[in-house]
Amino acid sequence: MNKKKIIVAITGASGAVYAKLLLDNLVKLSDQIEKIGVVMSDNAKEVWRFELEHNGYEKYPFDFYQKMDFNAPFASGSAKFDTMIIVPCSMGTLGRIAHGISNDLISRAADVILKERRKLIAVVRDTPFSLIHINNMKTVTEAGGIICPANPSFYSLPKSIEEVAQTVISRVIDLAGLEQESYRWNE
Ligand SMILES: Cc1cc2nc3c(=O)[nH]c(=O)nc-3n(C[C@H](O)[C@H](O)[C@H](O)COP(=O)(O)O)c2cc1C
């Protein structure tokens, strides 16, 4: 099996629970993964503390990079990270990516992933969307990215906030090409 090199970017949209669940899931799937690099925006840390009431992002056994660290391997295509997941993805970060404004590690890493024709998954979160947001999602999709909105489903009858959020993260894990046990409709 080809092990994956994954970038996880966490931005300041609401939905820190999605980021936490993704990191929890990736810990469990570590036998399928060669490397995970994580980068958080300033507001991502703020929102995580506010919504989850702890600094739990510090405990994960992954390589964390500062948001302006352009020495991170995935700031260059040569490092061959194959997948980038932005969870949650703010409209600000989406806009910077759509317009090629690589002025921090998150937007630069996404720019690299798109130019190298690798996999970018953006778990966008806001509601409602303006035409600017919709056009930016269209642009990123046309450039090869996958817009996977933070829209949970309910047909698995989730019982808690985490179970609701897991319905999104299970789709993200599928999109990233990782094998997992998860609820499958009518199976
Ligand atoms: C509690 C909180 C919730 C927020 N929720 C959202 C959101 O759901 N979507 C969004 O696009 N921005 C949201 N924002 C605003 C972003 O954090 C802000 O636009 C920031 O500049 C985005 O930059 P970043 O992508 O570098 O984190 C929220 C901010 C706070 C403090």
Pick the residue whose CA is nearest to atom 26 on ligand 1: 41
Q: Give Cα separations from 187 to 40, 156, 183 (angstroms).
A: 37, 11, 8
Ligand 1 atom closest to 51 (CA): 1
Q: Is residue 35 domain-resident?
A: yes
How far apart are the C-alpha atoms of 85 and 17, rounded to whole Å?
15
Q: Is residue 16 domain-resident?
A: yes
Locate 41 and state its tokens. 């925006």
Q: Is residue 31 domain-resident?
A: yes
Reported as a single tens digit per residue, the pLDDT across 143-178 is 999 999 999 999 999 999 999 999 999 999 999 999
* 2 burial type by CB count under 10 A (0-12 exposed, 13-18 middle, 19+ buried): exposed
Contact 92 CB / ligand 1 (< 6 Å): yes
Q: What is the signed CA dihedral for 89, 116, 141, 138, rounded to 10 degrees?
A: 90
- The response to whether 95 counts as a known ligand-binding position is no
Q: Is residue 97 domain-resident?
A: no
Q: What is the CATH number of the domain that holds 53?
A: 3.40.50
Residues 6+ apart with CB under 8 A from 119: 82, 83, 84, 113, 146, 175, 176, 177
State mean pLDDT over 8-32.
98
Q: Is residue 71 domain-resident?
A: yes
Structural domain span for residue 67: 4-82+105-129+140-159+169-175
Contact 12 CB / ligand 1 (< 6 Å): yes
pLDDT at residue 123, rounded to an integer:
98
Pick the residue whose CA is nearest to atom 21 on ligand 1: 92
pLDDT at residue 167, rounded to an integer:
97
* Residue percentage of the chain with pLDDT more than 90: 94
Give the count of domains, the chain.
1
Q: Per the confidence metrics, is the pTM higher than 0.75?
A: yes
pLDDT band at 66 (very low <50, low <70, confident <90, very high): very high
Q: Is residue 164 domain-resident?
A: no
- The response to whether 127 counts as a known ligand-binding position is no
Ligand 1 mean position, distance from CA 49 (Å): 13
Ligand 1 mean position, distance from CA 181 (Å): 31
Q: Would you say residue 58 has pLDDT above 90?
A: no
Q: Is residue 51 domain-resident?
A: yes
Q: Is residue 111 domain-resident?
A: yes
Ligand 1 pocket test, pick from 10, 39, 40, 43 with the greatest ligand atom count within 8 Å of Cβ, gives 43
